[in-house]
Chains A and B, each alone.
Chain A
Amino acid sequence: MKIGIPRSLLYYYYYPFWQTLFAELGNEVVVSDPTSGDQLNEGVKESVSEICVPMKVHIGQVLNLLEKGVDLIYIPRFVSIRRGITFCPKFLGLPDMIKNSIAAVRGKILTHEIRAKTDDISAYKNYTIFRDIFRVSKGELKKALEAARQNWLKFRALQQEGYKTEKLLLGEKEKREEGLLKIGVLGYVYNLYDRFINMDFLDRLEELGAKIVTFEMLDGDIVDRFIKNLRKPMFWEFTNRLMAAGYHFINSADIDGIIHITAFGCGPDSILGPFLEIDAGQKNKPFMTLRIDEQTGESHLITRIEAFLDLLKLKKRSDIA
């Protein structure tokens, strides 16, 4: 079978897992084309107007896969990968939203619930429906899941060694650039690595001489320990991870500044943002929020990045003097 995977949302975190899993089960894996203007326009047409831009991108990606003529489109329902913590409601309802937004996709969605204790999502119990769909034995499925897990762990390890996520996903290995300024960049993977919606934000930062650190590059223990020790963690998995990374950056002397990149209208980020902004201010750590949306002007983004880096350079110069 031809299994379509939308190049959006958790593709940027789990693609190595999914790719191996479906290939091991004897399928051809098709990924939708990188986000483009046309594709997003199509996505916007089929979306409810108030959802965030990454969701609109996702709908555009699903439409793109339909055009490619795949047999099934994989849209899992991520419920939880940590005890007591769930995903943003849009993830919880994702398969239903897609089904009800795009008539032509009915009957072509491959979905099931993901419930796990960690971000290792390879537990067999989540995938039992795969046995009938792909006509495989329990043993074969378990073997495929283990292979997927191994490949994903390798990907996670390379991220932590400082290889660029956006390159690893394409099967390339390239280390993050070194730079004069070390910038902690906070953002969900689907905002960080979709070059179209963030207007090449990471490349631009690197061109201007920044060394980028993101949450997936941190040691998993830092994140887990932080979330465990929170008196009141937030409800959403990746928001907690960003919060952990954010506080780690705030308290790291070698981080020159923090940029939070967020999609216009993101509910969880509307709570996360002020926490970080206030505490970064108290610790004297420069902090900037960048908002992205369908129609954000590029010049605004560049002006902000440039001005922020200028500010950090001046600060560094005066700290040394």
Chain B
Amino acid sequence: MSRVYIGVDIGSVSINIVAIGEDCELLFRLYKRNTGQPVELVKEGFKELQKELGAKKEIAGVGVTGSGRQLIGYVLGADIVKNEITAHAAATTFYYPEVGTIFEIGGQDSKLIIIKNGIPVDFAMNTVCAAGTGSFLDHQAIRLGIRIEEFGKLALQAKRDVRIAGRCTVFAESDMISKQQYGFTKPEIIKGLCRALVRNYMNNLVRGKQLEPQYIFQGGVAANEGIKAAFEEELNHEVIVPEHHDVMGAIGIAILVKEEMERTGRGTSFRGLDFTRDDFYTDSFNCAGCANECEIIRVKANEEVIAMTGDRCGKWSGSILNVRDSEEKHA
């Protein structure tokens, strides 16, 4: 029986699941829109995975990343639960050992990771504003009445340049409306938006940092050819979009869990594929222990409490053994 390692990325807009083999070859990939019920989506995803991989594979490790990693980490009994910056860097450096700069734009986050000699040395994340992210584009696509999948292609058809303010979603929208009223076409408006997004990214994340090629552009937004073109224009250099750009986080966490399991030689803590038949249930209550009145989130599997989180003092979360990145303590 050959071993596989599963990577799960729970993002705000999509949920991705991948399986890799012993040579990190991709055996399975799944990209699903996050409709707000991550546990159900993950269950469905694992059923598909089971169907595709068959019974001859042994799941030797499970890693979870993304903004929703904590809950799904509990549900799966993950071996490692890690932030998405580390995960993305791991995947990119695997496929592109020469990478210098990673642009990652997801649903609500945008990130910049700087790599030197195959090692991440610096990163930046959008702070107080989500103007330059996928959700913003989604919203504008709806406003313009076009499908997000066509967004990028349309931008390439633009004949003229329109400048749209990219600093803030609200201003971008009012700018867009007034430019529409001046008679600019949809493709021109969209191209303007793409360039505004890249400008915003450069201002907020790059902020004068020295960027070196190769430039790798990944995350859900990398599917958008208009943004890729705007990056290339800005950098005056080729920008590479990896084949699996939309599931790089999941691939990265799968690679990391593989390394971890091989290094430590421990067995997986994965709940097993039967978890798809369990009932997971989350509720919350307000702790009355002090004036903070933390909202405590309680995760149950078939009525048994498997995790508690949300307390500032550790009174509740400490009462249950946490899923924890073992590397932190034993490195």
Interface size on B (CB < 8 Å)? 23
Is B142 part of the contact surface with A, judged by Cβ < 8 Å?
Answer: no
CB contact between A303 and one of B119, B125, B312, B331 (< 8 Å): that residue: B125
Contact: B86 with A306, CB < 8 Å?
yes
On whether A209 and B328 interact (CB within 8 A), knowing A36-B291, A306-B86, A314-B119, the answer reads yes
Q: How far is A209 from B324 in the complex, measured between Cα atoms in Å? A: 13
Tell me if B37 is interfacial: C-beta within 8 Å of chain A: no
Measured between alpha carbons, how far is A37 from B292 in the docked complex, in Å? 6
Select which of A38, A39, A199, A310 is within 8 A of B86 by beta carbon.
A310
Contact present for B328 and A208 (CB under 8 Å)? yes
What residues on B are CB-neighbors of A36 within 8 Å? Answer: 290-293
Q: Is A74 engaged at the interface, CB distance under 8 Å to the other chain?
A: no
B67, B122, B331: the one within 8 Å of A286 (CB): B122
CA distance A302 to B84 in the complex (A): 11
Is the CB of B127 closer than 8 A to any CB of chain A? yes
Q: Does B184 contact A (CB under 8 A)?
A: no
Given contacts A309-B328, A310-B120, A314-B120, 6 further A-B contacts (CB under 8 A): A36-B291, A207-B328, A291-B127, A303-B84, A306-B86, A311-B121
Are B293 and A38 interface neighbours, CB within 8 A? yes
A299 at the interface (CB under 8 A from B): yes
- CB-defined A-B contacts under 8 Å, sample of 8: A37-B293, A300-B125, A303-B85, A303-B125, A307-B83, A310-B120, A311-B86, A315-B121
B245 interfacial contact with A, CB 8 Å: no
> Shortest beta-carbon distance, A258 to chain B, in Å?
12
B contact residues around A286 at 8 Å (CB): 121-122
Asked if A264 and B292 sit within 8 Å, CB to CB, the answer is: no
Interface residues on A, range: 20 to 34
Q: How far is the CA of A37 from the CA of B287 in the complex (A)?
A: 13
B186 part of interface (Cβ distance < 8 Å): no
Give CA–CA (A209, B292) in the complex, Å: 27
Assess whether A307 is in contact with B122, with CB atoms less than 8 Å apart. no
Residues of A within 8 A of B82 (CB): 306, 310
A 181-200 binary contact with B (CB < 8 Å = 1; else 0): 00000000000000110011
Q: Which residues of A come within 8 Å of B, CB atoms?
A: 33-34, 36-39, 180, 195-196, 199-200, 207-209, 264, 281, 286, 291, 293, 299-300, 302-304, 306-311, 313-315, 318
For residue A305, which residue of chain B has the nearest CB? B83
Docked complex Cα distance between A299 and B85 (Å): 13
Given contacts A38-B291, A39-B291, A302-B83, contact A307 B123 (CB under 8 A): yes
CB distance from B81 to the nearest CB of A (A): 10
Name the interface residues of B77-117: CB closer than 8 Å to any CB of A.
82-86, 117
The residues of B that contact A281 with a CB separation of less than 8 Å are 122
Chain A CB within 8 A of B128 CB: yes
Chain A residue nearest to B310 (CB atoms) is A298
- Are the CB atoms of B291 and A299 closer together than 8 Å? no
Contact B290 A209 (CB under 8 A): no
Docked-complex contact A304 and B121, CB < 8 angstroms: no
Contact partner of A299 among B67, B119, B292, CB < 8 A?
B67
Find chain A residues with CB under 8 A from B292 CB: 36-37, 196
- Cβ contacts under 8 Å, B329 to chain A: 209
Q: Which of B51-85 contact A (CB under 8 A)?
A: 67, 82-85
| Among A196, A293, A300, A302: residue with most chain B CB under 10 A | A300
Q: Once the chains are docked, how many angstroms separate the CA of A311 from the CA of B328? A: 12
Q: Which of B84, B291, B293, B331 contacts A209 (CB 8 A)?
A: B331
Complex interface: chain B residues within 8 A of A199 (CB): 312
B84: which A residues are within 8 A, CB to CB?
A: 303
Q: Which residues of B contact A303 (CB under 8 A)?
A: 67, 83-85, 125
Contact with A along B273-312 (1 / 0, CB 8 A): 0000000000000000011110000000000000000001
Complex CA gap A306/B83 in Å reads 7
